Structure 1
Amino acid sequence: MTQTSYRYWIGAFLVFLAAFCFACKGILIKLAYHYQIDSISLLTLRMLFALPFYVGILINLNRKQPPAKLTIRQWVALATFGITGYYFASFFNFLGLLYITASLERILLFVYPTFVLLMNAIGFGRRVTKLQIVALVLTYAGILLAFWGNIETSAQKDVILGAFWVILSGLVYAVYLVGSDQMIALIGSQRYTCYAMIAATVPTILHCAVENGLHLGNYPMPVYALGIGMGIFVTVIPTFMIAEGIKRVGSGNASIIASIGPIFTIFLSTSILHETISTEQIIGTLLVLIGVFLIGWRGRKQPISSVTN
């Protein structure tokens, strides 16, 4: 095996592992909800457990490289994008999981690459190819089929409301991605992710303080274990595995590899949460994956975090 080939397969393996970690997010959230914790408290625990790692990584990056030199306007834009992508999008996602299964959530969330594609086409005049149009049709057909096959599922409280929050999460996350291109070019993907996560932690804590007085010390121990898992194993670690993986295999290949995420979630949700998967959901998942595959196949340039969530 040549050095180039070895580098590629190491990168592919890192993206594969990151996809597995991200697929666990919905599972951990659903397990935590068994302990009657509200969405913003759970999100706050996730952010607080992840925060020290991002601060430490940022300090280390600033030691190795010159500190970021941005204008006040650029700092405000960076903070705004971080809050959009990691506070609003995450909170809407957590809300959605109150109402729908983890497997359906992961399928619906994969609508965000199509939002990115459409935003770039409408906002920046980037041409949409025939192949990408086919990908859009397949993706939305798959999502509709998976959604339709879950309307009567007893495991879900309100599939329409839950789907609304998750799709809104995908839309907001797409806004974050489209707006992040220039910032990532200025300060690098890893440093940008650290700043964005730190910025998003502030409104998350404020929201929790307003909602319930920031009372986070009275939950059973499993809640904190799940919070640590969400903070470290489905946030910090996969974020940087994705970053390194994209360096080695490219953003297009990484997005294709990461599209295996819904398959992981379906397997985990059936084995751990004992969710029932319908035939329509399986077929819909395959259509969504084909659509995402076609969007990523052309090696379209994406931000590092475009395959994280």
Structure 2
Amino acid sequence: MNQLRYSLFVLLGACSYGLHSSLVKLTTNAGYQAEQATGAQYFFGLLLLLVVVLFTKRVKLNMKQIGSLLGLGILLSLTGVFYATSIEQLSASMAIVLLFQFTWIGIVIESIYLRTFPSNLKLISIVFLWGGTLLAGGLVSGHMDWMSETKGLVFGFLAAVTFALFIFFSGKAGKGVPTIQRSLIITAGGFLTVLLFVPPTFIVDGTLTGGLWKYGLLVGLFGVVLPVILFAIGTPHIDSGTATIVGAAELPAAILSAMLILGEQITPEQATGVLLILIGIVVPQWRSKKATHPKKVYMN
């Protein structure tokens, strides 16, 4: 039951990321640039966590703990930067399919780390996730020219690798550090990395106070604060392969939020894809649920 509960935290974190994509679209529809949305996301995420951390438990950290948590933030922000570059070069459906390669990449990373072959349930789950991603991304009925934009393909795959590494190390870095304090350092690492790609001019040129702050609070909450905290709670208590698979909930959440928030239409093909992804997420939990109810042994 505990593993199922912690998987739920990861699921909610992934759904928060999915919702965040629609909020970014709202921000750009309001006339702001994607770079400004990304900068505001980490700026307000860091501010929100700074406020919360004042009222929560904190512990003294060593340099190894700080370095590992800053590294998580770097991986998370690089995922956003790589994905943004990919989507500039490719169609949105192509870019999302490339990003979702993190599902099998995460399984490979876990297998190498543990020096074991993935379980049959995880392999079955990957099949469902693959099929569901292709359908939900609208690529089955469309035409894919994978060689048309090498740059977009490379950066899309890099986004998948960095996100898989983020999920893998989320369960290992900073163990024993209180959740909010841990999340604050991760976000600080992400903010410092974003500043290398996004000039912080929006903070001082009037853009922030002129209206960006309203969107920045939302993208910061759903794109940084909630997912980082929820991943921090859940990933240390489940294996990284399962965390990667559960993280695939981001795509169904993105599609559903696009329908509810942006008014986009979901095709039957996409709806089928979402269903397959949900099945793929549930499959690895069967063994966990069964393991929590061992058979009773009767003795004479």
- TM-score, normalisation: structure 2: 0.72
Q: Give the superposition deviation at 1:128.
A: 0.8
Contact 1:49-1:227 within 8 A present in 2 as well:
yes
Is 1:39 matched up with 2:34?
A: yes
Q: Is the 8 A contact 2:106 2:165 kept in 1?
A: yes
C-alpha displacement of 1:26: 0.9
The answer on 1:279 being equivalent to 2:268 is yes
Q: 1:289 aligns with which of 278, 284, 300?
A: 278
In structure 2, the gaps of 5 or more residues are 290-300
Which of 247, 255, 262 lines up with 1:266 in the alignment? 255
Post-superposition CA distance 1:162-210 (Å, at most 9, x none) = 7765553232111122234432325354433221111111121232228
Indicate conservation of the 8 Å contact 2:86/2:156, yes or no: yes
1:12 deviates by 9.1
Q: Alpha-carbon deviations, 1:214-254, whole Å to 9, x = none? A: 7653379553311111112443245445656x49xx64899
Cα contact 1:189–1:243 (8 A) shared by 2:
yes
**2:188 corresponds to:** 198
Equivalents in 2 of 1:184, 1:205: separation in Å? Answer: 24
In the superposition, relative to structure 1, how do residues 290 and 128 fare at CA in structure 2: closer, same or farther (>3 Å)?
same
In structure 1, distance between residues paired with 2:17 and 2:46: 17
Per-residue deviation, residues 3-62 of structure 1 (Å, max 9, x unmatched): x99xx99x898777656543321111111222443333211111111112222344544x
Measure how far apart 1:274 and its partner are. Answer: 3.3
CA shift at 1:112, angstroms? 2.8
What secondary structure sits across from 1:184 in the alignment? Answer: coil
Aligned residues between the structures: 280
Give the TM-score of the pair, scaled to structure 1: 0.70
Residue 224 (str. 1) matches residue 213 (str. 2): yes
Return 5+ residue gaps in structure 1 as ranges. Answer: 301-309
Q: What per-residue deviation string (whole Å, max 9, x for no partner) do you get for residues 53-96 of structure 1?
A: 222344544xx34312344xx543432232112x1012233445
Q: How high is the sequence identity, in percent, across the aligned residues? A: 19
Letter in 1 for 2:185: Y
AA aligned to 2:167 is L
Preserved contact between residue 100 and residue 163 of structure 1 (Cα < 8 Å)? no
Given that 1:106 and 1:265 are in contact with CA atoms closer than 8 Å, whether structure 2 keeps it comes out as no
How far, CA to CA, are the matches of 1:239 and 1:81 in structure 2?
A: 10
User: CA RMSD for the aligned pairs?
Assistant: 4.1
Q: Is the 8 A contact 2:167 2:244 kept in 1?
A: no
The match for 1:177 is 167
